[in-house]
Amino acid sequence: MQIHILDDTSDTLRSLPSFAKLAGHDVTVWTDTLHDEDALAARLQAAQGLVLFRERTQITDSLLARLPNLRLISGRGAWPHVDVAACRRRGITFCSLKSDAAPNHSAAELTWALVMAAMRDLPAQMAALKAGRWQAGVGRGLRGRCIGLYGGGRIAGLVAGYARAFGMDVIWWGSETTRARLRALGETVPESRAAFFGGADVISVHVRLVADTRGCITGDDFAAMRAGAVFVNTARAGLVERGALLAGLERGKPACAALDVFDVEPLTDPHDALLSHPNVIATPHIGFVTQDEFDLQFGDIYDQITAFVAGDPINVVT
C-alpha cells in the first residue's frame, strides 16, 4: 500500500520502534506542512493511505475530491480537522482511536513544567545567570497555594495529582455536567465562575476545543483572577476569546501566561504580540511531543493500517 505520512516536521517517526509496523508498505514521510490545496493534492496523487499527524492538516471535501487513489485515512484522537461526511460519501475509510482509558502523560507533565517555570520565574532567572547576573528577582512556591483546573478529564486529573503532591489545594470548573460529576466525587467546585477564576493562584485549562467551548474563556474571566495569578494553556488557543489574553496581560490579569498553544501554528514570528510579551512563557505546542508518546500514538495508527489491509478494520469512524 502506498502510504503518505503528513506533517512530521521534526522528522522523528521513522526513527521510532513503531515505524517497523509499516514494513512491506511503500511509505513516504513528509517533513513540512502544506497549506496550499493545489500543492497538497499534487503531492498526494498516488496515496492509497494517509497517516495524519494530529490536526496539522485539514482534510476537506475539496481535497479528497482530488485524491482518486485514497482508500484509508488513519489518525488518532479527536477529528475536528477531518470532513467525516466527505469521507463517507467518497467511500474512504477513516479510522481514529480516541481512547478514554489512556491519559496523555506527556501533556500533563509539560503543563506541570510550565506551572513551575512560571511560579519560580525560571526563564528570567536562567537568562540573567547566562548574562552574568546572579539571582534576578524572587519566585513563588507552590505549597499552600491553589490551582484551578478548568475541565475534568484525564489530563486535568493527572495535573491535580501533581498539584496535591506539591501541597497545593485544587478547585475545579467546567460544564454543568462536569461540575456535577466532580462535586459527586467530593472535589471542590466553587459556587460561581467568578469565584473559580478569583480563587486560584494558577488557572490551567484542560478541555477539548469544540463548537461549544470555542472562546469560552473571556476577558471577564481574566479580570476576575487574583493579582499575581498565572494562566496556563496547554490545550488549545481557541478556547480563549481572541485578543482577551493579550488584553488581560496588559492590565496585569493574569500576571503571567504560560502557553504551549497559539491561534496561528506554527508561530514563527518572534515579534508576535503575545509571544514577545515580557510576561509570557512559551513552548511550541510540544505537550504531546516526546519519543514515548509518539511511539505509542503512531503504533496505534499503524495498527489501524494493518487491520484495514487484512480486511478487518478497527477504530472505524466511517
pLDDT value at 102 more than 70: no
pLDDT value at 101 more than 60: no
Distances (CA, A) of 234 to 73, 109, 292: 26, 10, 18
Closest CA to 115 of 158, 173, 153: 158
Distances (CA, A) of 143 to 86, 116, 125, 156, 199: 51, 11, 20, 19, 15
Distances (CA, A) of 89 to 65, 155, 272, 305: 10, 35, 41, 20
pLDDT value at 316 more than 80: yes
Residue 266 pLDDT grade (very low, low, confident, very high; cuts 50, 70, 90): confident
Q: What is the DSSP secondary structure assignment for residue 258, as one 8-state letter?
A: E
Note the Cα 69 to chain centre separation in Å.
Answer: 31
Q: Average pLDDT of the chain?
A: 96
pTM beyond cutoff 0.75: yes
Q: What is the pLDDT of residues 203-231, one digit of tens each?
A: 999 999 989 999 999 999 999 999 999 99
Q: Average pLDDT in the 148-176 region? A: 97
d(CA 311, CA 250) in angstroms, rounded, equals 57
Q: What is the CA radius of gyration of the chain?
A: 21
289-301: burial string, b at 16+ Cβ within 10 Å, e else: bbeebbbbbbbbb
Which grid coordinates are listed for 103? 491519559
Which grid coordinates are listed for 80? 475536528
Per DSSP, the residues of 266-306 read S---TT-TTTT-TTEEE--S-TT-SHHHHHHHHHHHHHHHH
Interhelix angle 105-119/122-130, nearest 10 degrees: 60
Q: Which of 28-32, 61-65, 262-266 has the lowest mean pLDDT?
A: 262-266
Domains of the chain: 2-101+291-309 (3.40.50.720), 105-282 (3.40.50.720)
Q: Are 239 and 245 in contact (CB under 8 A)?
A: no
Given CA atoms 28, 34, 35, 40 in this order, what sign does their dihedral have? Answer: negative
pLDDT value at 154 more than 60: yes
- Specify whether the backbone of 130 is left (phi greater than 0), alpha (psi in -120 to 50) or beta: alpha
pLDDT for 288: 86
Residues identified as active-site: 236, 265, 285
d(CA 257, CA 221) in angstroms, rounded, equals 14
- Residue 108 buriedness (CB in 10 A; 0-12 / 13-18 / 19+): buried
Residue 54 pLDDT grade (very low, low, confident, very high; cuts 50, 70, 90): confident
What is the side-by-side strand order in the sheet with 146-150? 169-173, 146-150, 202-205, 230-233, 256-259, 280-282
